[in-house]
Structure 1
C-alpha cells in the first residue's frame, strides 16, 4: 500500500455524494453565462452602442472596482467582462466548499478515521477531494465554453480555461487550509479569506490607474488578464499552474506531519468556565453564529459602497440602449433610471440576505446532525427554546445585513450627489423593504428542518430558484405568474413606487406560519443524525 491507495474509491464516493450539488452549481453558472450572452447580444447589437457602453464603464471608478475594465468591443468580450469577477468568485467558493467537505469535514465528523482503518493511504482522502473539485471545475468550464462558443471558439476556450484555472488555484488553497485547522468551519473561513484578499487586490488594481500592476498578484486578476475574445492570452494560465503545484505540495507535506483529527494550528483554549452570555440558548447561538454574521455584513456592506458609487453615473453606464433601460425599469419599477437601478440592486441584496438567513437557519440541522444537540437537551434546555435562539439570530441577522448595506449605499450615493439625507432615506427604504421576502426563505428552511429534517438542505434549492427568477426573469420576459413564485416579486419597488403594506404584512404572516409549523414539527419528532 502506498500513500495514494484507495484514491479511486474515495473519488467515486465523493462524486456519488455530490451527484446533485455539482450539477446544480454547474447549471446555475451555465444559465447565468448563457443569459448574459443573450442579454448583451440583444441590448447592444451594433458596435457603436457597445463602444458607448464601454466608454461609460471604463470611465466609472466604482464599476471598474467591481467588474474591472472591458477589453474588446464584441459581445463575447462584454460577456466575459461581466462574468469575469462575480462568477469566477462563485467558482472559487464552490471549489473551496467541495475540498473542505471531502477532507476536513469528513475528518472532523469521524468518518475519515473509519475509512482510514481500511486499505487507504494517508494522502488518498486529500487527493480524492482535490480530484472531485477539479471534476466540478471541468464541468463548469465545459458549460461555460458551450455558453460562449457562439461568439468565437478561441475566446470561449480562453474564458473556460480561466474558470478551470481559478478553480484549481482555490482547490490548492483549500488543500492547505484544511491542514491548518481542526475545524471544517475555520478551514472554509480561511479559504474565503484568501478569496476575499484576492478580490480586494484586484479591486484596488482596477480602481487606480497607477496600481494596475497589482492585478498580476491576484488569481482573479489573472483571470481578467486572459482577455478572452480580445487577445486570448493563454500564457497567463502558466501563472495558475505555477501556484497550484507548490500549494498542493505544501498540503501533502502537512498531511504527513499532523495527527488525524488535529490541525497544524493548535486550537486556543477557552476559559475554564462559561461567561454569563453562554448560559442561555440565545447566548450559545450568538457565539456560534457571530463570525458568519460579521463576514456577511462586511462583505455586503462593501458591495453597498460600490453600488452607492455607481448610482450617480447610471445614465453613463447604460449608454444609448433603450432595451437596457427597459429591462432595468422592468426589474426596478417604472420610475427614473437611477431609482430603478437602486431598486434592482436592493432586490439583489435581499436575495443575498436570504442566502445568509437560510445558512443561519440550517445551523440547526448542522448541530443536530453533528450530535451536539442531544447533550444540551439532556439538561433543562427545551427544544423550542434552543431552536428559537438560532432562529432569532437568523431573522435579526437578515435585518442587520440589510441595514448596514442600506446605510453604505445611502451615504456614498448621498456624498456623490450632494444630498446625503435624501439619498440615505431612499436607500434605506429600498433595502429594508426586502426583509420580509428574505425572511420567507429563512422560514422555509426552518419548516423543512422541523417537518422534513432529511430534506432540510433542499432550502438551498428554494433560494436558488428565487435568485434565478430575479436575475433571469425580467430579462427573459417570463410570464408574471412565474415571477410571482418568488417573494421578492411582491416587494414594493422603492424608491419611486408607492409603499403598500399589504404584501409586507402577508409575507410576514407567511413567515409566522412556516416558523410555527417548523417549531411544532421539531418539538414532536425524533432527534436524527442522518
Structure 2
C-alpha cells in the first residue's frame, strides 16, 4: 500500500469543495426538519392518529417510507426526509467514487500515478477510503445535529449510523461499477440504475398492503435499511449489519476485479463498431444522438416507471388526510394551495419530475464539455463542422428530450385516474400543467449553455440551481420558508396547472430569458478556446 497516505491527501484536496457542498446540503435538511416538527404536529395527542393513518395509506408510505414513530421530532424526521437524504447521499457516494476511480483512469491520471512507487490497488483503496470517510462524516453530522435539536441520543446515533452505512453501500456500488466498464459515463449509468432500482423497489414494497408478500422486498432495498433499523422507535441495531456486510462484499469484489483486468478496460468492454458508419453519423446531430442514446434510453425507462408508479397511487389518495388536517395543509402548500388534494398531488409530483428532466437536460448538455476535454471536439472541428453546429447538436438533445419526457411523464401520471374515472380530461389537465413548467427546464439548460460558453469550469452552478429547487420542493413547504425564498427557483413564477389559472406573462418571459441565455452561450462558445 505504498503511497496510500499521499493519494488520500491528494484526493481530499482535489475534492474538498465538491464533498463539502454535498455534505453541508444533506446535513442542513435533517435538523431543519426536526425543528419544524411542532408546525406539522403541534398537539402530541394527534401523533397516534397520524401514525395509524399513514400506516394504512399506501400513497404516503410509497412516497416517504414506513412511519414507525411520529410521537417526537426524531421519528418524524426519519420518516419525512430520512429515506430521501439517504438516497441523495448514495448519489453523492456514487459520483465521488467513480470520479476518483474510473474517471481518473479514463483521464490518464491513474496511469501517471502508477508510474511512481504506488501499489496496484492503492488508487482504488484511496478512493474507497475517501468515500467512506465522507459517509462517516455525514453520519456524525446527522447524529450531532439531531442531538443538538433535542432528540434522543440513542436514536440520533442510530439515525446517523444508518445514514452513513447506506451511503457506504453506494461507495461499494460505485467502486464495483468502475471496474465493469471502460468509461466513467457507463460506470455512472450502471451505478445510478442500481440506485434508482433500489428506490423504486422500496416504494413498491412500502406501497403494498401489509399482508402482501411484496412487503418483504423492503429487506432487499439498501435505501430502506436505515428506516428498518427504527431510529427513535426501539432501535434494531442488528439491521445495520446488512449495509455494513454488503459494503464489504462490494468493495472486495471491486478489488478482485481490478486485480484481474487490464488498465483502461473492464469485463464489459465497449463493442467494436461497424466497418462503415451509417448515414446517421454524417452530421453532428447524428453523432450526438449516437453518443447519448444510451443515456436517453435509461432515463426514459426510469421516468416512465416512476410516473406510472406514482400515478397508480392516486386511486387511494382521497382519504389520505381525513384525520390529519395539519399534514393536509402541508400538501396543499406543496400543491400551490389546491382545494382538491388530488390536483395538489399532481402539482407536487410534477414539481419533482420537472427537476428530474432538468437534471437530464444538464447531463445531456454536459457531454459537449466532455467531448472537449477528451480531445474529440478538436478532431471533429478540424473538419468542415461549425462550432455552433457542434454545440447545437448536443443542445438540441438537451432541450427536446426533457421536453418530451416531461409531457409523457405527466400523461402517464394521470392515466390511472383517467382509467379509474373513465375521464380522459384529467390527462389533458396534467399534461397542460407539465407544459406550463417547460420554460423553467429551458431556462436551466440555457444557464448551462451560457456557463459552457463563458466559463466551463463553473458549470456546477447550473446543477446548484437544480439542487436548490429540489430542496425548496421537498421541504420548503414543511419548513414554512418565507415566500421570497421559495420564489428563488426557475419554476416559482410559472403557473401551476391545474390548480392555478394559466398566466402567459411569466411563461413567455421565462422562455425569452432562456432563449437569450442560449444565444449568448452559443455566441461565447463560438469564440472561446477549446477546453482541452
Report the TM range for the smaller structure's normalisation.
over 0.9
CA distance in 2, matches of 1:307, 1:318: 17
Q: Which moved more, 1:75-84 or 1:201-210?
A: 201-210
Q: 2:51 aligns with which of 50, 54, 57?
A: 54
- Cα separation, 1, equivalents of 2:424 and 2:292: 33
Label 1:475 to 1:226 Cα distance change in 2 as closer, same or farther (>3 A).
closer
Counterpart check, 1:63 vs 2:67: no
Corresponding residue for residue 196 of structure 1: 196
Partner residue in 1 for 2:32: 35
Aligned length: 525
- 1:432 alignment partner in structure 2: 435
Structure 1 window deviating more from structure 2 (253-262 vs 47-56): it is 47-56
Counterpart-to-counterpart distance in 2, 1:105 and 1:361: 18
Stretch deviating more after TM superposition (376-385 or 350-359): 350-359
Q: 1:90 to 1:20 in 2, by over 3 A?
A: same
Specify the alignment match of 2:386 in structure 1.
Answer: 382
Does structure 1 conserve the Cα–Cα contact (< 8 Å) formed by 2:365 and 2:395?
yes
Query: Residue 171 in 1 paired to residue 175 in 2?
Result: no
**Aligned with 2:407: secondary structure?**
helix
In the alignment, the residues of structure 2 paired with residue 479 and residue 39 of structure 1 have an alpha-carbon distance, to the nearest angstrom, of 14
8 Å contact 2:68–2:75 — kept in the other structure?
Answer: yes
In 2: Cα distance, 1:133 partner to 1:21 partner: 12
- Tell me the equivalent position of 1:116: 114
Assess, with a 3 A threshold, how the Cα gap between structure 1 residues 318 and 29 changes in structure 2: closer, same or farther: farther
Distance 1:279 1:257, change over 3 A: same
Q: Counterpart of 2:375 in 1: which secondary structure? A: coil
Alignment of 1:75-94 (within 5 A): 75-94=73-92
Q: Distance in 2 between matches of 1:513 and 1:464?
A: 23
Match of 1:462 among 456, 462, 465: 465
Q: Contact 1:67–1:85 (CA<8 Å) still a contact in 2?
A: yes
Cα deviation, 1:19-68, whole Å, max 9, x if unaligned, reads: 11111111221222233323333211334433323233222234333433
Partner of residue 187, structure 1: 187
Instruction: Identify which of 291, 294, 298 aligns with 2:297.
Output: 294
**Range moving further from structure 2, 41-50 or 390-399:** 41-50
Measured in 2, the distance between the counterparts of 1:194 and 1:344 equals 25
1:37, 1:148 within 8 Å by CA — same for their partners in 2? Answer: yes
After TM superposition, the structure 1 stretch with the greater mean CA deviation from structure 2, 81-90 or 368-377, is 81-90
- For residue 233 of structure 1, report the CA deviation from its aligned partner: 0.8
Match of 2:409 in 1: 405
Distance 1:482 1:240, change over 3 A: closer
Contact 1:312–1:338 (Cα < 8 Å) also in 2? no
Aligned equivalents of 1:305 and 1:282: distance in 2?
31
Change (3 A) 1:480 1:73: closer
In the TM superposition, what whole-angstrom CA distance separates every residue of 1:202-260 from its partner, at most 9, and x where no partner exists? 34433252233332233223223201111211111222222222322222222122221
Matched, 1:261 2:264: yes
Distance 1:352 1:204 in 2: 20
SS at match of 2:472: helix
- Which piece of structure 1 moves more, 347-356 or 398-407? 347-356
* Distance in 2 between residues matched to 1:423 and 1:113, nearest whole Å: 57
Correspondence for 1:158: 158
Structure 2 distance, partners of 1:315, 1:148, is 34
Q: Is the 8 A contact 1:145 1:156 kept in 2?
A: yes
Q: Which range moved further: 219-228 or 281-290?
A: 219-228
TM-score (norm 1): 0.93
Tell me the distance in 2 between the aligned counterparts of 1:100 and 1:50.
Answer: 43
Shift of 1:387: 0.6
1:231 to 221, 230, 234: 234
Distance between the aligned counterparts of 1:325 and 1:276, measured in 2?
Answer: 56
How far does the alpha carbon of each residue in 1:451-495 deviate from its partner, in whole angstroms, 9 at most, with x for none? 122322322222223333344444444444433332211110211
Deviation at 1:112, TM superposition (A): 0.9
Secondary structure in 1 matching 2:424 = helix
Partner of 1:107: 105
Match of 2:494 in 1: 491
| Deviation (angstroms), 1:388 | 0.6
Aligned 8 A contact 2:465 2:489 in 1: no
How does 1:354-369 map onto structure 2 within 5 Å? 354-369=358-373
Matched, 1:520 2:523: yes
Does residue 508 of structure 1 match 2:511?
yes
How does the TM-score come out when normalised to structure 2?
Answer: 0.93
Aligned 1:215-254 pairs, distance under 5 A: 215-254=218-257
Rate the CA distance shift 1:318–1:26 in 2: closer, same or farther, 3 A.
Answer: farther
Q: Distance in 1 between matches of 2:239 and 2:472?
A: 35
Q: Hey, what's the Cα distance between the residues in 2 that align with 1:244 and 1:439?
A: 39
Q: Equivalent residue for 2:356?
A: 352
CA contact (8 A) 2:49 2:324 kept: no
Instruction: Give the secondary structure class of the aligned counterpart of 1:228.
Output: coil
**8 A Cα contact 1:53 1:319, kept in partner:** no
**Hey, what's the Cα distance between the residues in 2 that align with 1:466 and 1:61?**
26
- Cα contact 2:33–2:479 (8 A) shared by 1: no
CA separation in 2, counterparts of 1:480 and 1:103? Answer: 42
CA contact (8 A) 1:53 1:317 kept: no
